Amino acid sequence: MWPIIWDADPEIINLFGKISIRWYSLLFAGGLVLGFNVSKRLLLAEKWSMEDIDKLALFVFIATVLGARLGHCLFYEPEYYLSHPLEMLLPFSWKSGAFEVTGFRGLASHGGIFGVFLSILYFSRKYKKPIFSILDKAAVGGSCAAIFIRLGNFMNSEIIGKATGSDVGIIFKKVDDIPRHPGQLYEAFAYFTIFIILSYLYKKKKHIFSDGFIFGLFFTLLFIARFVIEYFKENQVGFEEGLSFNMGQLLSLPFIIGGIIVMYMKRNKSIVNS
């Protein structure tokens, strides 16, 4: 049974040798759509109009992609992308005189989540909507979307785990022949568990907490899981070698602290919602 050999082709189809349709892109987009539909049901239950929901969806979608892309470029490969700034935002490249549609190869979850937060903050102020009420619903849907994004990483054989030191593990054939921890699947399972917890609390216990508590819990659980699972994953960039914490862990700490603060502030209904 062990080790499991994983050699999936990350590309579903290539059109004319120029346009690549990949599993990651499909799962990323599918996760966003599914996550948004989860949040939409919660918004409709509070009598939001479809016009307002569609506006919010546009803001969040753009902010997710933009934030995730800029987060990757500036946190993980700043030297290259600051020298090639157009490649940060354009889904194609022009190298050695050849045009290639590459998509956005390199997205950082920390940047995407920060982008979503800023977009909801802007939306709430522009349209006079309660921000923490929106953030609670976005947290439930966002935890669902995160599952599919990590499954996309698995299909790409990227963000791989460290060697297990035994035959138990997954061999990512596109990388090497070493049995490794499937870090992507660890995260996907953690996010599925978080989705179940948040969904239950929102449906059954929401009356106990002020708006914002579920959002704070989302940040806390998600980034604690991310922080712990990073110990089982290979570093993504060279400068992380020799550091006590890698970039993913360092970026997780402010989110964990922020989540705990929000949870404390919004811990019961006697605290006025903001």
pLDDT tens figures, 65-114: 899 888 888 877 888 778 878 777 776 555 555 555 555 567 787 788 89
Does residue 271 lie within any of the structural domains?
no
pLDDT at 98: 58
DSSP category for residue 157 = T
Task: Note whether 198 and 218 are within 8 A (CB).
Answer: yes
The runs of H, that is alpha helices, within the chain are 23-45, 50-75, 78-83, 86-89, 109-127, 131-155, 183-200, 213-229, 247-265
Does residue 273 lie within any of the structural domains?
no
Does residue 40 lie within any of the structural domains?
yes
273 confidence band (pLDDT: 50, 70, 90): very low
DSSP string, 30-67: HHHHHHHHHHHHHHHHTT--HHHHHHHHHHHHHHHHHH
Does residue 272 lie within any of the structural domains?
no
Least confident of 41-55, 151-165, 226-240: 226-240
Does residue 110 lie within any of the structural domains?
yes
Least confident of 16-30, 175-189, 221-235: 16-30
Mean pLDDT of the chain: 88
* CB under 8 A, 24+ apart: contacts of 8-14: 8/155, 8/157, 10/155, 10/156, 10/157
Does residue 158 lie within any of the structural domains?
yes
pLDDT at 242: 66
DSSP string, 204-223: IIGGGS-TTHHHHHHHHHHH
Residue with tokens 């921890």: 181
Number of domains in the chain: 1
Q: Is the dihedral of CA 260, 261, 267, 273 positive or negative?
A: negative
Does residue 257 lie within any of the structural domains?
yes
Task: Note whether 215 and 116 are within 8 A (CB).
Answer: no
The token pair at 139 is 């947290």
Alpha-carbon torsion angle 18, 24, 28, 29, nearest 10: 40
Cα distances (angstroms) measured from residue 89 to each of 72, 102, 103, 104, 143: 11, 11, 10, 8, 25
Q: How far apart are CA 67 and CA 10, in angstroms?
A: 23
Residue 208 belongs to what domain range?
4-265
pLDDT at 18: 67
Instruction: Give the number of other CB atoms < 10 A from CB of residue 67.
Output: 23
Q: For the segment 17-72, what is each residue's pLDDT rounded down to a tens digit?
A: 667 788 988 998 999 999 999 999 999 999 999 999 999 999 999 999 899 888 88
The token pair at 124 is 């709430």
pLDDT at 274 over 60: no
Alpha-carbon torsion angle 141, 142, 148, 151, nearest 10: -150
Does residue 270 lie within any of the structural domains?
no
